[in-house]
Chains A and B, each alone.
Chain A
Amino acid sequence: MKTLRVARFSVRYRPRALAVCAAAVLVALGTGVLALGRGDYPIAPGEVVRTLFGGGSAAEDFVVNQLRLPRVATALLVGAALALAGALFQTLVRNPLGSPDILGFTQGAATGALLVVVAGGSSAALAGGAVAGGLATGVLIYALAWRGGVQGARLVLVGIGTAAILTGVNGYLLTRTQLMDAARAVLWLTGSLDGRGWDQARPLALALAVLVPLVLLVCGPALRALELGDDAASGLGVRPERLRVALLGAAVLLASLAAAAAGPVNFLALTAPQLARRITRAPGPNLAASMCTGAALLVTADFAAQHLFGERQLPVGVVTGVLGGGYLVWLLATQRRAGRL
């Protein structure tokens, strides 16, 4: 932990965490540039960067800025939002497996979206349904887990129970659709960035612009205090329950908006914070590092999903699902050996 002082102001930081953030941002942007250059109309990375800053030809400007940039931007934003939501959940629940896709929020977003599909709504309505479903589930889970305060283990159990009910409901809704709609719904449920435009990226960018400073700068220190336990945190002047409500609300909002933009991309919220924590080797929630890692992970996974399988383009959710599965098995094995699971 080092301190940077400028006149009366001081910022404490960890050099390693800072380096990790910088590296993750570099990876994210580098892969982003590669993704912008590849496709039916290949463009060299140097040209891509020039085009981004307004220098390329009209054709290059169209391909890079109109066709490919929205998808890459959405990947970066969704990755950052899911990772931040995951880091908040894992800290509040005190378990490396406590992420929104395990605890029912994602399933709730899916229920909202599926209801729209069954009703024959448009893609924009589908996104709205996802946000509404995710938020409603968040409120429901919080209310059900409330017994004079919300405790991590109870939230986990209530979340898992809710997830199981909603999975049943979602399966039912899937049987109520036409086969074509069902295919569209399953594609959405897997998580895909195909054909994403600014319409999907914009609300998420706005939410991140508002929530990230609030979460990182206002709640971050208090969250670190909360990791010491409710009593210690109260002693440090933090009101645990209010902080939890605020942060859970922010996390649910981020996860729902991310789901609205790209569908519930599995496991990103679970893995990114854990990966960040391991690379930074720093205790605590690692919020900023998680966000950078999440953005880098998702944009890389989407690049792989588009180009690794030849002609066949997979939805990015399949790639994160498989990676997440491998990570999960490893996590279960090591955590168990360490006696922590």
Chain B
Amino acid sequence: MSTTGSLPIPGAAPARRGSPRALGLAAGLLVLLAVLVLSLGLGAKQLGPAEVWHGLLDPDAPGYTVVHRMRLPRTLLGLLAGAALGLAGGVMQALTRNPLADPGLLGINAGASAAVATAVALLGVSSFTGYVWWALAGAALVSVLVYAVGGGRGATPARLALAGAALNATLYSYVSAVMLLDTASLDRMRFWTVGSLAGARTSTVLGILPFVAVGALLALGLARPLNALALGDDAARALGARPAAVRAAAIVAVTLLCGAATAACGPIVFVGLMVPHLVRALTGPDLRWLLPYCAVLAPVLLLGADVLGRVLGRPGELQVGIVTAVLGGPFFLYFARRGKARA
């Protein structure tokens, strides 16, 4: 490097910033790995990292049953659902140009819940494979509705949040009505509506895998066109993106991700809000970095909250949806007070 002070080349700057971001992503993956080990190890029976390792690989190891039967499905579910919610939040915030967009706050999870409640009460659906299609249908319906309301230029964060909250209230009053009319559904639904990873089965994990995978690929593929859309529709068109098609694809991605996550874990709020926010501070607004970071760090949050719930709630456990609500709520309040999201 010469000391003559060369002029900064505009095109070179992102490439130079790119490598710290890649390093950051690698660091994020390491943190994720650590949380995965914690999630496999902590619980009624504590296992150290070495025991987790043996339990995973060696069928004769003492921890094999615990790890494979209970903690592995639960951990993998947290990984998938967390990534799904984080990506969905990132895409929604870009799509609505609204920093407060969150699939939980805007009612998409509630839409999935309402559909599942209908299926449970009217059709006696009780298996996950039954839930998932209903959840997707409900999520799709509300996504379209929220987008119709919040996609406009005049939509301020506070007003969009209000519309979402009102939608949430309607849908949950419907869910509680269903629970009321049928005690059997109440017993099943009251645990599901809290949001929990407990009781995860391998079949559930495999069940949501295709939906999350397709949704995640779609979301990541949309990073560049959504970036273009952030410049405005005309600029986006000039850059070769088709705004209507991009928006439609983004809604499909959000629906797949939220519907699958909600069907498997129940409605979980704030993960999709918090993670993209925190990540934006690390990566900047470029979705090509923001979305992969979300996919890595959202599971860290969700699994971390799940582990925390297992530690705090002893001898039972606190459901992960409660932990994220209690963790995420103050974050949201702080953010609201800061006035960044002023209407």
Contact = CB atoms under 8 A, between A and B. Distances in A.
Interface of A: 95, 97-98, 101-102, 144-145, 147, 152-154, 156-158, 160-165, 167-169, 171-172, 174-175, 179, 182-183, 186-187, 189-190, 266-267, 270, 314-315, 317-318, 321-322, 324-325, 328-329, 332-333, 336, 339-341
B105 interface: yes
B169 interface: yes
B177 interface: yes
Interface stretch (B83-91, B118-126, B154-162, B251-259): B154-162
Contact of B269 (A156, A168, A324, A336): A168
B173 interface: yes
B100 interface: yes
Contacts of B176: 186, 189-190
A202 B190 CA distance: 33
8 contacts: A145-B336, A168-B194, A168-B324, A169-B325, A171-B193, A171-B322, A314-B177, A315-B177
B149 interface: yes
Contacts of B179: 186
B341 A157 contact: yes
Contacts of A157: 100, 157-158, 161, 332-333, 335-336, 341
Interface residues of B, number: 58
Contacts of A174: 190, 194
A111 B152 CA distance: 35
For B154, B158, B172, the residue with the greatest tally of chain A CB atoms inside 10 Å of its CB is B158
A339 B154 contact: yes
Contacts of B325: 164-165, 167-169
Given A162-B333, A341-B149, A153 B342 contact: yes
B343 A101 contact: no
A149 to B, nearest CB: 12
Given A97-B166, A164-B269, A179-B183, A341 B159 contact: yes
Interface of B: 100, 104-105, 145, 148-149, 152, 154-159, 161-163, 165-167, 169-174, 176-177, 179-180, 183, 186-187, 190-191, 193-195, 269-270, 318-319, 321-322, 324-326, 328-330, 332-333, 335-337, 339, 341-343
A339 B158 contact: no
B311 to A, nearest CB: 16
B158 A156 contact: yes
Contact of B190 (A163, A167, A182, A270): A182
Contact of B194 (A101, A171, A315, A329): A171
B105 A160 contact: yes
Given A158-B336, A339-B152, A102 B162 contact: yes
A101 B180 contact: no
For B159, B322, B332, B336, the residue with the greatest tally of chain A CB atoms inside 10 Å of its CB is B336
B194 A318 contact: no
A321 B174 contact: yes
Contacts of B167: 328
Contacts of A187: 180
A97 B163 contact: yes
A161 B180 contact: no
Given A154-B342, A156-B158, A165-B325, A318 B169 contact: no
For A171, A333, A339, the residue with the greatest tally of chain B CB atoms inside 10 Å of its CB is A171
A175 B266 CA distance: 14
Nearest to A320: B173
Contacts of A322: 174
A126 B154 CA distance: 43
Given A171-B322, A175-B194, A341-B149, A156 B161 contact: yes
Nearest to A176: B316
Contact of B169 (A147, A266, A341): A266
A183 B180 CA distance: 7
A153 B343 contact: yes
A168 B343 contact: no
Nearest to B171: A325
A164 B270 contact: yes
Nearest to A177: B190
Give 8 closest A-B pairs by Cβ, nearest first.
Answer: A168-B325, A165-B329, A157-B336, A321-B173, A153-B343, A325-B170, A161-B332, A171-B194
Contact of A328 (B156, B166, B190, B270): B166
A95 B162 contact: yes
Contacts of B269: 164, 167-168
Contacts of B154: 336, 339-341
A297 to B, nearest CB: 16
For B166, B190, B270, the residue with the greatest tally of chain A CB atoms inside 10 Å of its CB is B166
Contacts of B343: 152-153, 156
A182 B186 contact: yes
Nearest to A157: B336
A317 B170 CA distance: 11
